[in-house]
Amino acid sequence: MRLEGKKMKKNLVVLFIALFLFSCFGNKKNDDNTASLQMEEEQTAVKIPVTIEEIKEFITENDEYIKRRNLEITFISKANFGIPGGDNWIVRLNDNRSIIIYVINENKIEKDYYFSSQGRVEHNIFDIMKDIPGTRIGNLTASFGDFNGDGIDELFQYGFGGNANFVEIIGYVVEYDDFINYADNLTFGIIDMDNGPAPVEFMTYNSVYGFKYFVSIPEVAGGPGHIDYEPNPKNERWFFYTWDAEQRQYVEVGEVVD
């Protein structure tokens, strides 16, 4: 009888231990399920845009400049301008002059860089962009790509101003946290507005890669007491430029001789 009592006590102890362990395991499982549900709810509440359409919608909803002016994105593409802090995206707006480069980190716009493009929608018979590499930005006279071979994208555009037409190749500089023009003070002309040729052509010339462009330097306006200047000898001629990595500029190589 005493033996059976001991055996019963032993069984009760084992049962209590089993119930305790089961309770602990069950609570842990419930805690894990609760944490998993909370994580899913947080991910649902803060949706991270991934696809191009999601990025487009995200920018439209979070950029006050676009919202205030009721603008739309007509072009969007991922790029690599070397801007740290997130993915680089380039967009064009339907006002036909605004190009914006964004840095987006998950669900936050970290930075944006606005360019008032002085390019234009192409309407020439000839293709003014046919010799410009990279990805064209809609039907603007602008594109982006790695033009100088350093592994980072730059922004190219033809600018059409009131006094002169100019070439811009704009790149991001980490030290300044800003963009600078790598092809400064290059004004171009077009020989024939209907038939071309295009004023800039990226090419290899004398085993050097770069671009040639048709120089057109605006004349100095005259007036009372003005000084007469000799015509610039480079005017109406083709000159070749290449990338200088040390100066971080496109530099003149010389005249292109056929």
Check: CB of residue 182 under 8 Å from CB of residue 248: yes
Among all chains, which residue has been given the structure tokens 């962009």?
129
What's the N-to-C CA distance of the chain in angstroms?
119
pLDDT for 43: 47
- For the chain, list residues with pLDDT below 70: 1-46, 118-124, 219-230
CATH 3.10.450 in the chain is located at: 47-116
pLDDT for 139: 85
Amino acid of residue 138: G
pLDDT for 3: 43
Check: CB of residue 156 under 8 Å from CB of residue 182: no
CATH number of the domain located at residue range(s) 47-116 in this protein:
3.10.450
pLDDT for 14: 47
pLDDT for 222: 54
Query: What is the pTM (predicted TM-score) of this model?
Result: 0.78
Q: Tokens standing for 242?
A: 């290449």
